[in-house]
Homo-oligomer: A and B are copies of this chain.
Amino acid sequence: MINIGLDIMGGDLAPLATLEGTLASLSHLGTDTQLHLIGPSEVILSFFKEKGIPVPDNIQISEATEVIEMGEHPVKALQSKPHASLNVGFSMLASGQLDGLASAGNSGAVMVASLNALKSIPGVSRPCVMGAFPQLNGSYNVVLDVGINVDVKPELLVQFAKLGVIYSKQVFGVSNPRVGLLNTGEEPTKGSLLYQKTHELLSNSKEFTFTGNIEARELYDDRVDVVVCDGFTGNVLLKQAEGFYHLIQQRNIHDSLLEKFNYELYGGTPILGVQGNVILGHGVSSARAISNMILATEKIAKAKLSDHITKAFN
């Protein structure tokens, strides 16, 4: 049995998008998966009532009467609202009632709760978030960090490589993931001092297959399975890809590969290195994005991602 939690009140379009997304996901969930909707039970129940359908068997409702708004100060909000859906969800995850938790809510609060309620996995100095980038051959690679750690040391980038390799293996099923360091050129001496030193450390690592520097122009060419970078640059990469997709939409272009740039298909960003499986959704998540976020959370929970990371860093 896999237990997945969804923060019903998280996201700009919640609770309608989260509840509609829930409905859309149900038929795709495994038969041994239970989805826990965390939020005010009256909101959840009245949704099903209005739809004219009974609460499905694979849904559980976990009462959470308070809501952390998108603009609230993360630490203050978490402290002052013990019954917020995020606090309830993270407690359930920390206690083992859940195998995975998804929220498209206040991203700062999700990060703070991940660090405070779950804590980092021993050996992981700073957790990170990852993005999956579509490849020309139809697969995805893993880019990390895409947002949390904007001021980093070379040793931390090596840790991101290790986390990315575990994800690539356990979730994408790549047997020997190739690791590339994002940089401005092929040569080991390219890039800032941070990237030069990181190249040296990665070259000396025997834990995984480091294939050298990768330029952003090769990001979609299936050259590597894991792309390592600092959280500032990774965030820029991720958001530029989002900007591209926006252009594609504006130009009314329909293409099965380019459609994969739609964040809605991926649904969210896994947080790697904390003691639990957490996916953070985009603030503007639609029902479609929520549905895919639920399925992505089921996938990493089934893969026991957090357990594999714990084992690798032990």
Contact = CB atoms under 8 A, between A and B. Distances in A.
A189 to B, nearest CB: 11
A182 B243 CA distance: 13
A32 interface: no
B258 A251 contact: yes
B243 A220 contact: yes
Contact of A239 (B193, B216, B235): B216
Contacts of A257: 247, 251
Interface of A: 136, 147, 150-151, 182, 184, 191-193, 195, 215-221, 231-233, 235-244, 246-248, 250-251, 253, 255, 257-258
Contacts of A231: 184
A62 B248 CA distance: 46
Contact of A247 (B136, B215, B237, B250): B136
9 contacts: A184-B239, A191-B232, A215-B239, A216-B237, A216-B238, A217-B240, A217-B243, A217-B246, A220-B244
A120 to B, nearest CB: 21
A218 to B, nearest CB: 7
A111 to B, nearest CB: 13
Contacts of A184: 147, 150, 231-232, 235-236, 239
Contacts of A221: 243, 246
Contacts of A235: 184, 216
A230 to B, nearest CB: 8
Contact of A237 (B193, B238, B240): B240
A150 B258 CA distance: 31
A241 B250 CA distance: 17
Given A232-B184, A236-B184, A255-B253, A150 B244 contact: no
Nearest to A255: B251
A236 B233 contact: yes
A38 to B, nearest CB: 26
